[in-house]
Amino acid sequence: MDKNNSEYQPQIIEPKWQKRWEEINADVAPDFSGKPKFYNLDMFPYPSGAGLHVGHFKGYAANDVVARQKRMAGFNVLHPMGWDAFGLPAENYAIKTGIQPEISTNKNIENIKRQMKMAGLSYDWSREINTTDSEYCKWTQWIFLKLFEKGLAYESELPINWCPSCKTGLANEEVAGGLCERCGAKAEKKNLRQWVLKITAYADRLLADLEGLDWPEKIIEMQKNWIGKSEGAEIKFKIKNFDSEINVFTTRPDTLFGCTYIVLAPEHSLVAQLQEKIANSQEVEKYVAVAKQKMDLERISEVKDKTGVCLEGIVAINPTNGREVSVWVADYVLVNYGTGAIMAVPAHDARDFDFAKKYDLEIIGVIKPREGDSQLPYEGAGVLVNSDQFNGLDSLEAKTKITEWLALNSNAEKTVNFKLRDWVFSRQRYWGEPIPLVHCDKCGIVAVSEDQLPVRLPKVEKYQPTGTGESPLAAIDEWVNTACPKCGGKAKRETNTMPQWAGSSWYYLRYIDPQNGNSLVAKDKEKHWMPVDLYVGGAEHAVLHLLYARFWHKFLFDLGVVSTKEPFQKLRSIGIVLAEDGQKMSKSRGNVVNPDDIVKEYGADTLRVYELFMGPFDQAIAWSTDAVRGSRKFLGRIWNLVADCAKNEKSSDEILRHAHKLNQKVASDIEQLKFNTAIAAFMEFLNFAEDNKNEVGKDILERMVLLLAPFAPHICEELWQKLGYNESVFLQSWPKPDGEMTKEKEIELIVQINGKMRDKIKVSADIAKQEAIALAKSSEIVQKWIGNKPIKKEVYIKGRLVNFVI
């Protein structure tokens, strides 16, 4: 080793090793190798003009530790990166500046790629993808065509969510609390011709297959709730003097005897059909017109005052007992859930209760709590009362009994409903994948033939959304006017584009075979790499991206394109990095930490170690510049330890034991993504090693460097060379701890009182002073000797004895 030990200078060694790793293709994954495969995936970023945020690096660094460790442990690791590059910001930027989205996007990609390389992230760049590349788009469009072919993409004129600020339609998943998920503007309702994907056809499987996944419980729960399976029955109420029925959906057939009125959604088709029979039809029409304008969220809000209008002259008949009840329209009933009609049971449903109170409708209790009296409304289970022949039955049992009894006269049927709605898939914007369909006067809607894919976006001058519900593409005659693929006659292209979620719904498959011109992914490669073994990303995608990708994956499974039912076997979400002030980092607050600055000042290894050490991986934690300096210091001390001890030939048994324990801890912590405790273990080890430098031999240093390499790759590569090796540290095998060494070694401590031996206790060889004294004190014999005399002094001689002076 060099006598003139140089100082640790990350700014010099980091670029050097990055260049070297690129030269030796250190991170390239061969498609087939004798090794077991490991596919670890990061959620790919949107190439924003602001570049990456330190928050991005927390997830990337974590998954990079896993990738590097798995490679050392003998796995063939696929660790790719790409760009989710369609979307509104690039388009809005184009509107402002006139710079083509493609140009600004590519510039942003270049910058972000530089940042990723700067951080030493070990991506296989030979597999880089970009969702806006025409060769990539081709396959996104191909999937759409297959969906269309199978009847899973359809045109609809139903009212949809519309963002007046983004001037485009939105999917239900993109509206959070009534606001546009993108820009925060209040979403509106708008009738618009739309392309919709039948995700509901997969509702059951999307729910059932959550079962075998290793995902955070919280995200599984969110997906379950979003899919919202609800089991119940449809029950038919005859309309008096009218040859028609009202079909209601209820999850509580057991409460049927408590139904005192019926409610139709304002948009329900019966409202129009009954018009002539409704005495107050003008009042009803007025109410319906207002309700149609309201957003669903507002209508079903529990705090909002309930409103409705009675359909005068209309009477419905309860199929159980022939009881006649009034019929209402009220906007708290939604047209697109269940059957769009309900039987109201005010005694046992809070919404019905509020409504009945307001309009003075009858309330009949039919479920008595198993114990005690019920307070209205009582929504729990219990025993049936006021229910004729069903009295005394348990309500859970009564659900089935009543449904079966009604079914005998075809008055009811068991059914299942889902909250999940079909996916509104078209957007009225420029910067997205064109939907590969044409409209022909003669043939109707015709698919572009596969060999004509991709349908490319035309270059345009104006990117402004029209706001009329047409995409800017509609104004480009040369592009819009085309020949019908079927009859060759005049036809017009579909001008809607796909939502930003399209490209990310299958990107993980394209990394497997990014260059393939003949198919989306070759079968043998797909079989080799899928499923993704570890997927790391932000929790904000809990429903949107993860649900859409699972849907497309299942569809591709049915097509035989993929071999696994689910795409992402194990998922972990990253807690966000807050600013030093505990607030969310944002440009407007001026509290954003720029990763470039951190790397420039402290080095990439420090950035990595700091972000991994800052706290549990999945929790939100505030940035701390002091702690960044702490991490920098830690690496400097590692550097110095190697410099100081590399000449020592032999390690002591004690330090060997420490090193093997560290080995065991780091390996198991990486497995559990507990990076913070792994680094804490390095720090403890370092403290001990520094205190016992002449016991630290070269073998110990080597083990430490190998273990730390996935976390701080550059410094470890440099130290590995300094320890005398030419081959990269990442080509070495991940060290295994020696089982014997990690066993707790026990020793016997002598316990004295006033210098006289009174007891012997067995303790761990590494016991610390405080613990040794505490254990000695708790010995029964010692307690007897001490009694209630005060202890004047406690002496501990390491590994040998404790003496109490009393």
Least distance from ligand ANZ to the Cβ atom of residue 299, Å: 9
Decide: is 561 part of the binding site for Zn ion (CB under 5 A).
no
Stretch that binds ligand ANZ, among 123-131, 283-291, 340-348, 770-778 (CB under 6 A): 340-348
Give, in order, the Cα–Cα distances in Å from 502 to each of 85, 101, 424, 723. 11, 18, 12, 50
Nearest CB to ligand ANZ, comparing residues 310 and 342: 342
* Residue 442 binds which of ligand ANZ, Zn ion, none (CB < 5-8 A, kind-dependent): Zn ion
* Helix-helix angle 134-149:544-559, to 10 degrees: 70
Decide: is 320 part of the binding site for ligand ANZ (CB under 6 A).
no
Tell me whether residue 569 is exposed, middle or buried, using C-beta atoms within 10 angstroms of its C-beta: 0 to 12, 13 to 18, 19 or more.
middle
Q: Are 239 and 245 in contact (CB under 8 A)?
A: yes
Compute, in degrees rounded to 10, the torsion defined by CA atoms 710, 712, 717, 719. -120
Among 193, 205, 304, 486, binds Zn ion (CB under 5 A): 486
Stretch that binds ligand ANZ, among 86-94, 154-162, 250-258, 590-598 (CB under 6 A): 250-258
Subset of residues 343 to 402 that bind ligand ANZ, contact rule: CB under 6 A = 343, 345, 348-349
Query: Cα–Cα distance between 209 and 383 in angstroms, integer?
Result: 35
* Residue 342 binds which of ligand ANZ, Zn ion, none (CB < 5-8 A, kind-dependent): ligand ANZ
Among 86, 144, 249, 431, binds ligand ANZ (CB under 6 A): 249
Nearest CB to ligand ANZ, comparing residues 333 and 574: 333
- 375, HSE (Cβ side, Cα atoms, 13 Å): 0
Among 257, 328, 337, 529, binds ligand ANZ (CB under 6 A): 337
Nearest CB to ligand ANZ, comparing residues 227 and 772: 227
Nearest CB to ligand ANZ, comparing residues 345 and 435: 345
Least distance from Zn ion to the Cβ atom of residue 443, Å: 3
Query: Cα–Cα distance between 109 and 128 in angstroms, integer?
Result: 11
Nearest CB to Zn ion, comparing residues 440 and 547: 440
* Helix-helix angle 101-118:595-602, to 10 degrees: 30
Nearest CB to ligand ANZ, comparing residues 327 and 753: 327
Query: Which DSSP helix (H) or strand (E) runs through 481?
Result: strand 481-483
Decide: is 160 part of the binding site for ligand ANZ (CB under 6 A).
no
Among 199, 271, 342, 530, binds ligand ANZ (CB under 6 A): 342
Query: What pairs with residue 481 in β-bridges?
Result: 492
Query: Cα–Cα distance between 232 and 251 in angstroms, integer?
Result: 4
* Residue 334 binds which of Zn ion, ligand ANZ, none (CB < 5-8 A, kind-dependent): ligand ANZ
Least distance from ligand ANZ to the Cβ atom of residue 620, Å: 31
Decide: is 602 part of the binding site for ligand ANZ (CB under 6 A).
no
* Residue 230 binds which of ligand ANZ, Zn ion, none (CB < 5-8 A, kind-dependent): ligand ANZ
Among 104, 200, 250, 663, binds ligand ANZ (CB under 6 A): 250
Q: Are 666 and 683 in contact (CB under 8 A)?
A: no
- 198, HSE (Cβ side, Cα atoms, 13 Å): 13
Query: Cα–Cα distance between 724 and 310 in angstroms, integer?
Result: 89
Query: Which DSSP helix (H) or strand (E) runs through 783?
Result: helix 780-786
Nearest CB to ligand ANZ, comparing residues 328 and 337: 337
Query: Cα–Cα distance between 296 and 421 in angstroms, integer?
Result: 13
Nearest CB to Zn ion, comparing residues 484 and 701: 484
Stretch that binds ligand ANZ, among 109-117, 166-174, 249-257, 382-390 (CB under 6 A): 249-257
* Residue 723 binds which of ligand ANZ, Zn ion, none (CB < 5-8 A, kind-dependent): none
Q: x-or-dash pattern for ligand ANZ, window 201-240, by CB under 6 A?
A: -----------------------------x----------
Among 484, 546, 641, 715, binds Zn ion (CB under 5 A): 484
Q: What is the CA radius of gyration of the chain?
A: 34
Decide: is 251 part of the binding site for ligand ANZ (CB under 6 A).
yes
Subset of residues 293 to 312 that bind ligand ANZ, contact rule: CB under 6 A = none
> What DSSP letter does each residue of 621-658 carry, written as one string?
EE--HHHHHHHHHHHHHHHHHHHHHTT-----HHHHHH
Residue 763 token pair = 């303790």
Give, in order, the Cα–Cα distances in Å from 369 to each of 255, 344, 470. 13, 20, 56
Subset of residues 487 to 516 that bind Zn ion, contact rule: CB under 5 A = 487, 489
Nearest CB to ligand ANZ, comparing residues 57 and 249: 249
The one-letter amino acid at 106: N
Give, in order, the Cα–Cα distances in Å from 256 to each of 233, 253, 376. 11, 5, 16
Stretch that binds Zn ion, among 112-120, 182-190, 324-332, 485-493 (CB under 5 A): 485-493
Least distance from Zn ion to the Cβ atom of residue 426, Å: 21
Grouping H, G, I as helix, E, B as strand and the rest as coil, residue 509 is helix
Decide: is 526 part of the binding site for ligand ANZ (CB under 6 A).
no
Helix boundaries (H) for 487-543 = 501-504, 507-510, 523-529
Q: Are 619 and 66 in contact (CB under 8 A)?
A: no
Which residue, among 730, 783, 754, has the nearest Cα to 69 in the 3D structure?
730
Nearest CB to ligand ANZ, comparing residues 57 and 328: 328
Query: Which DSSP helix (H) or strand (E) runs through 344?
Result: strand 341-344
Nearest CB to ligand ANZ, comparing residues 13 and 341: 341
Write down how long the chain is.
806
Q: x-or-dash pattern for Zn ion, window 423-462, by CB under 5 A?
A: -----------------x-xx-------------------
Stretch that binds ligand ANZ, among 118-126, 205-213, 313-321, 332-340 (CB under 6 A): 332-340
Stretch that binds ligand ANZ, among 49-57, 95-103, 339-347, 503-511 (CB under 6 A): 339-347
Decide: is 81 part of the binding site for Zn ion (CB under 5 A).
no
Among 158, 220, 334, 763, binds ligand ANZ (CB under 6 A): 334
Q: Are 539 and 573 in contact (CB under 8 A)?
A: yes
Query: Cα–Cα distance between 666 and 736 in angstroms, integer?
Result: 11
Least distance from ligand ANZ to the Cβ atom of residue 344, Å: 7
* Residue 229 binds which of ligand ANZ, Zn ion, none (CB < 5-8 A, kind-dependent): none
Among 340, 514, 595, 603, binds ligand ANZ (CB under 6 A): 340
Nearest CB to ligand ANZ, comparing residues 422 and 533: 422
Nearest CB to Zn ion, comparing residues 443 and 543: 443
Give, in order, the Cα–Cα distances in Å from 633 to each of 17, 518, 597, 623. 21, 53, 17, 17
Decide: is 698 part of the binding site for ligand ANZ (CB under 6 A).
no
Which residue, among 714, 691, 709, has the nearest Cα to 644 in the 3D structure?
691
As separate numbers, helices (DSSP H) first and strands (DSSP E) second, the chain gives: 27, 33
**What residues make contact with ligand ANZ under the rule CB under 6 A?**
230, 249-252, 255, 265, 333-334, 337-338, 340, 342-343, 345, 348-349, 417
Give me the residues that bind Zn ion (CB under 5 A), please.
440, 442-443, 484, 486-487, 489
